[in-house]
A and B are shown apart, each in its own frame.
Chain A
Amino acid sequence: MSAPAPTFDMADLGPHLATLRDADLDALDFGVIGFDLDTIVCRYNQVESQEAGLSPQRVLGQPLFTNVAPCMNNFMVAQRFEDAQEQGTLLDATIDYVLTLRMRPIKVALRLIALPGATVRYVLVRRQK
């Protein structure tokens, strides 16, 4: 059985991500950062690693919002994950954002996914055309 490769916009992507192995994540054409309930990064795919210029070993095991992506540490991103966690609600939202990949301002779409009860939460990153 070979399901079609998940896309950035696909509905119900959240539950699907948990089933993918690291190699599957590496094959995706958008960046994936997975982090646990303490915000420690536990998944980091190849696209994201290349765009950011950081190898996974520099990132895995680090707290996301302070040591990996401080640019997201505001009410637009970090706060939404906190709120979802506090209230036990579903977060699946896509926002326009600017990441500073290798110190260049890059327009991206961020998809923020947190499922109630799930132990891994995701930030997906797609470069804007």
Chain B
Amino acid sequence: MSNITNPDPGAGIIAEHEALIQFMYLAPVGLVQADMQGVIAMINPISAQLLMPLAPQACLNNLFDALEGVAPELRHLCASFTAPSGMVCEGRHIVLHHGGRARIERGTPEVLSISLLKLDAARLMAVISDVTEQVRRERQLKQADAWLNAILTNITDYAVVSLDRDGHVSAWNDTIGRVTRFGQDVVGQPYSVFFPEGGTTDARQVDRLREALADGWNLEEGPRRRADGSQFWGSAMIAPLPDNGALQEGEIDSAYCMILRDISDKHAAGAAAHSATFSDALTGVSNRRAFFDAASKELGRRRQSPRATSLVVFDTDHLKSINQRLGAAAGDQVLRQLAARLRATFRDVDVVARMGGNQFAVLLPSTDLAGALIVAERVRVQVAAQEPAPDGSVLAFTVSAGVAEMDDDANELTALMARAEQAMRRAKQQGRNQVAHWTPADHFQLPDLISPL
């Protein structure tokens, strides 16, 4: 077939080169090669299309300079990327227009996506694209998803609640009235208004908004409260609404959409199975598994945004002798009584669990040592004050408790548990029926000086 090859081999290469150049010109995505300081060596037209409106002084010599106004972190991100090569960032979103812009020009991108690949010490490849439409579609899909969930699941009803940046209800509608019985005056209130008292904390409310921003959504089930104080089992999905640029006349500033569903029926059906897995069979409080699940979630949130977290460990006093005197059923009765007392005293947001034997633990989110001590002492006093019933349905007993607060030295659950247990052992040593809090001196106590029973 050599008879049809180009008689001038140089012409073939030139044509190929030109075709390659055109291929690069027309690639519908921005491509940039720069050094690690951002100095641009190669750049294709879409990059210029996207970057020129951002670049200061109509200059595209440096990628980081061009993006300084909208993504100043890129320079640092690259500088601190110490591996010899690899992805510095992938699909990182750069929001170009925040609210307040009077008029968004037609076709002007609002969100760019940038990926940076470090090739070696001297070369960086960037892929830049306009993902405005994609972000808009995702936003619509997210809303559609939440709606579909609300509609397809077997539910009693749902409320669509728009929240502002701080998690305050930004508008009222019929669905809110129907599901929660709240009226117009709910506008401006934090969404914790839908929780029963003690069902959440300020920090937890902020956590959920942050998680929704980071993951695209946040789903949580639990007891919720209507305006008249009655409760239902609710499922609440919160999804962030991307910044939509300038507000239109009369438009409400909403940063999140919350779909609140009343799934009381569904919950009743699933509750038995759930309780078998996550509850202690004897006392009905959480079991170890549920405790460690919930605690590790709370500690994860604490790492994201530090706050006080405390733990109380309760231990019944002299249970062994109760068992010996009155029989094992009486011992079980004591444990059930204590569990009921703990549930009545602590908030819904606190995790009350039977850790085994006669030991219970309670994790208190957003609570410092002083706060935890007060509640632990309240439990101790109430337990000690309980009058025994002549028929044996209520028994007299006492508890000892140890309290510890998380700090930099005890920032893992096991360390916190160890401290609370050390304090509890000291309470026992000092005569039982008392609450002790951990002090550094407890470190030097021998662990098993006394029988835990």
- Per-position binary interface string of chain A over residues 86-127, scored 1 when its CB falls under 8 Å from any chain B CB and 0 otherwise: 000000000111111011110100000000000000000000
B21 partner, pick from A73, A95, A96, A102, beta carbons under 8 A: A102
Q: Indicate if A2 sits at the interface (CB-CB under 8 A).
A: no
Q: Which of B72-114 contact A (CB under 8 A)?
A: 105-108
- A74: interface (CB < 8 Å): yes
**B22:A58 contact, CB within 8 angstroms:** yes
Tell which of A52, A54, A55, A103 has the most Cβ of chain B within 10 Å: A103
Interface residues on A, range: 20 to 34
Q: How far is the CB of A100 from chain B (nearest CB, A)?
A: 5
Distance in angstroms from A110 CB to nearest chain B CB is 10
- Residues on A with beta carbons closer than 8 Å to the beta carbon of B40: 105
- Residue B271, interface by CB 8 Å: no
Closest-CB distance, B117 to chain A (whole angstroms):
17
Given A53-B21, A75-B108, decide whether A104 and B49 contact each other with a Cβ distance below 8 A.
no
Chain B: interface size category: 20 to 34
Let me know if A73 and B49 touch, CB within 8 A.
yes
- Contacts A53-B21, A54-B22, A103-B43; is A72 near B59 (CB within 8 Å)? no
| Smallest CB separation, B233 vs chain A (Å) | 52
Chain B residues with CB below 8 A from A15, complex form: none
A71 at the interface (CB under 8 A from B): yes
Q: Which of B18, B43, B107 contacts A74 (CB 8 A)?
A: B107
Question: Most chain-B Cβ atoms within 10 A of its Cβ — which of A68, A69, A105?
Answer: A105
Q: Which residues of B lie under 8 Å from residue A72 when comparing CB positions?
A: 49
Stretch at the interface among B50-58, B141-149, B340-348, B401-409: B50-58
Q: Are B52 and A100 in contact (CB under 8 A)?
A: no
Contacting residue for B43 out of A69, A97, A105, A107, CB 8 A: A105
Do B48 and A105 touch (CB < 8 A)? yes
Contact of B26 among A70, A75, A95, A99 (CB under 8 A): A70
Q: Which residue of chain B has its CB nearest to the CB of A82?
A: B106
Taking the complex as formed, is B45 at the interface, i.e. its CB lies under 8 A from any CB of chain A?
yes
Complex Cα distance, B43 from A102, in Å, reads 9
Quote the shortest CB–CB distance from B55 to chain A (angstroms).
7
Q: How far is the CB of A83 from chain B (nearest CB, A)?
A: 10
In residues 417-442 of chain B, which contact A (Cβ within 8 Å)?
Answer: none
Bound-complex Cα distance A52 to B25 (A): 9
Q: Is residue B192 contacting chain A, with contact meaning CB distance below 8 A?
A: no
Counting chain B CB atoms within 10 Å of each CB, the highest count among A75, A79, A96 belongs to A75
Bound-state CA distance A53–B106 (Å) is 31
Is A76 part of the contact surface with B, judged by Cβ < 8 Å? yes
Which of B42, B57, B61, B105 is within 8 Å of A75, CB to CB?
B105
Chain B residues with Cβ below 8 Å from A105 are 40, 43, 48, 60-61
- The complex places the Cα of A125 from the Cα of B58 at a distance, in Å, of 15
List residues of B (21-77) whose CB comes within 8 Å of A's CBs: 21-22, 24-26, 28, 40, 42-50, 52-53, 55, 57-61
The 7 closest A-B pairs by CB, nearest first: A71-B45, A96-B58, A71-B48, A98-B60, A75-B105, A105-B60, A103-B42
- Chain A residues at the B interface, C-beta cutoff of 8 Å: 52-55, 58, 67-76, 79, 95-100, 102-105, 107
